[in-house]
Amino acid sequence: MRTFRMFILSLFIFNLLLVIPGTARTLTDGQIENKVNELLGKMTLKEKIGQMVQYSYSGSHGSKMQEEAIRQGLVGSFLNGESIADINRLQKIAVEETRLGIPLIFGRDVIHGFRTVLPIPLGQAASWNPHLIEAGNAIAAREARANGVHWTFAPMLDICRDPRWGRIAEGLGEDPYLASQLGAAMTRGFQGNDYSAPDRLAACAKHYVAYGAAEGGRDYNTTAVSERQLREIYLPPFRAAVNAGVATIMSAFNEIDGIPASGNQFTLRTVLRDEWQFKGFVVSDWSSMTEMLNHGFCVDEKDVALKSLTAGVDMEMVSEAYIHHLENLVNEKQIASELIDESVRNILRIKFKAGLFDNPYTPEGGEKVLLTPANQNVAREIARQSLVLLKNEKHLLPLAKNLKRIAVIGPLANAPHDQLGCWVLDGHQEYTITPLKALQDYFGKETEILFAEGLKTSRTTRTDGFDQAFKYASLADAVLLFMGEEAILSGEAHSRAFLELPGAQEKLIEEIAKLNKPTVMIILAGRPLTFHQVAEKVGAIIYAWHPGTMGGPAIVDVLFGDYAPSGKLPVSFPKTVGQIPVYYAHKNTGRPPSPNQKGIPMGTPLDPVAFVSNYLDVDVMPEYPFGYGLSYVNFEYSNLKLSTDKLKMGETLEISVQVKNSGKMAADEIVQLYIRDLVASITRPVKELKGFKRITLKPGERQVVNFKLQTDDLAFYNQQMKMMAEPGKFHLWAGKSAVDGLQAEFWIVE
């Protein structure tokens, strides 16, 4: 059954990823460039500036001022159109009632699905499956494009090592290599090979750059990163998206080394344009340009316009510095008209590539592609692969299917809105299949499902619902606790200072644990949480993130063994908030601690015995490390082999490792490859992810997994800020996580 299901899914994904030809694909890049230049030559300065303006749609009953601005050629884009009819109405004004007929481009935050809501991006990252993620985002593109959206403000590629930051939910975790692989897959999913196709969107890599390094995990906050950190940690996912052909880039809210991202010539021109040769356009984040006034970087709105355009922001989102001041700046010769032409050329190029000049209108009937069975099947598969098994004491899971009574307890067992997660503009909760509903459908009348919320919401502190929860748990053969955080507790401007389970959840868990029933805790959340104490009181733990529309069936599939869990953590989980930041690719220190070392050292400043880089009250190891995730089977690793232990610059190292499924069911494993450069001219992290592969093994099956590493894969930015590998000794690991693997060593020699 599993084999047949995977065959059907693979066939669907294959067909989904086929390019449906669009109109722009018939034009070469040179032909598009000629059309752009021809149109640009006809435009007045006001019309050019109009292309650089994006407004938030004020609604079908909103101001007529926006419509008049379109007629005057003073608008290039809208975000958040409400319906196909509204979008077509505004487009008709632009195309048929303006002098040049330049179409608008409509953008929307299609972050993790349109109507068919996928797991939050951090949950998708736990699948470590670029192919499946590409398919999921192709579904999002198909649904959104059929409903009038041309352009999505995704993928979010911010590396984050502080789970207090609410927007960690929208990103792909802590590691630049993993985020690069998955971010490129998301870009391909949205855009395909031709984003003029009627089922594709122009993508926007955001937030450029280092936004996820906000101090204290407080949204919009200062980021203090060096150029080397910028290049090695925060820029690589964006470069991968550019290499994948991403159409647009969004400048971030934060400052970088004292210079706000929307006024940063180094990141926007030196790196993005000069080094990477990016040909798309840059849009600011919502009012991020005028917020440079609060940063103390600009004197007034006119200065905002001057510095933003000089830095390389082509389109202004929502704020109005460009429309109010660019014309005067040009007339006063503070800005060269060539800078305006460059930005407009970038914008028009993307509009041509998106096919908007040939097909500006969206046909009615877009609802037909929403929530199709095929779309839901892929959403279910992504949700399954995103689930991470953190604990399975005495092989409690999978649960037997012949249980007479199951107690389903917790505020997130039947919370259809919260299950969708943050940044869901177009998902409807009535289409969500919750765990409770999925369990009822799965068992019918064969098993009694006893449901008690226990707490009204995840934040509830009242305990008046405990009695019913305790009663149902006492009657049940097994207890399923659905805990975590509501959708409103993560996302933009939703940072948290404390990461424990909110409200009275821990008290509820402790009460249920007194019954000594087989108890499984399923956590739905938008970030890593800390739950060390209650983790000891339950037999098994599944981390489900916010799993989207089909999260309920996916969870039930895993609970009862129809699918073996395979998710791996894309971010380290701290034991306590005081450990943050905690991440696997940290640097060593001159006084490194032992992994589990804590307590008051016996030495003194005069005799510093055990004076190391640690805490007195908690060790430095995370609660759950990067790459961690259990399965229902054991995977045995053996025979790690290298093609050589010495390679010269430019050569390739071939690595193989044998993996065996020693369990009794088919299951997937994600084989991970890490290296460490032991001595270099710039100190290197203790481990760096350099490869991963997802494999499926039948019971008893063995497979040899192969990797290749070129010396360029081992390069870093040296003291002269040049990317290059150096001769020296390296350690290498192949295994199940960042802290578990077979080890070998090799040398790069002169």
Active site amino acids = 285
Q: What angle do CA 470, 472, 478 make, to 5 degrees?
A: 100
> Which of 452, 451, 546 is CA-nearest to residue 125?
546
Alpha-carbon dihedral 719, 724, 726, 731, rounded to 10 degrees: 110
The answer to whether 585 and 686 have CB atoms below 8 angstroms apart is yes
Give the separation between CA 490 and CA 527, rounded to whole angstroms.
7
Could you tell me which residues are beta bridge partners of residue 54?
77, 317
| Host H or E run for residue 47 | helix 45-51
Tokens of 253: 């809210």
The answer to whether 520 and 541 have CB atoms below 8 angstroms apart is yes
What residues contact residue 422 under an 8 Å CB cut-off, 6+ apart? 120, 166, 169, 170, 487, 488, 490, 491, 492, 494, 526, 546
| Host H or E run for residue 695 | strand 688-697
- For the four alpha carbons of 632, 636, 393 and 628, in that order, the dihedral sign comes to negative
> Within 10 A of 83 (CB to CB), how many other CB atoms are there?
14
Give the separation between CA 215 and CA 526, rounded to whole angstroms.
19
The DSSP symbol for 685 reads: B
Give the separation between CA 520 and CA 528, rounded to whole angstroms.
18
- Helix spans in 451-549 (H): 466-475, 505-513, 532-535
DSSP string of 132-186? HHHHHHHHHHHHHHTTT--EE---B------TTSGGGGGS--S-HHHHHHHHHHH
Give the separation between CA 405 and CA 478, rounded to whole angstroms.
7
The DSSP symbol for 21 reads: P
**What is the total residue count of the chain?**
750
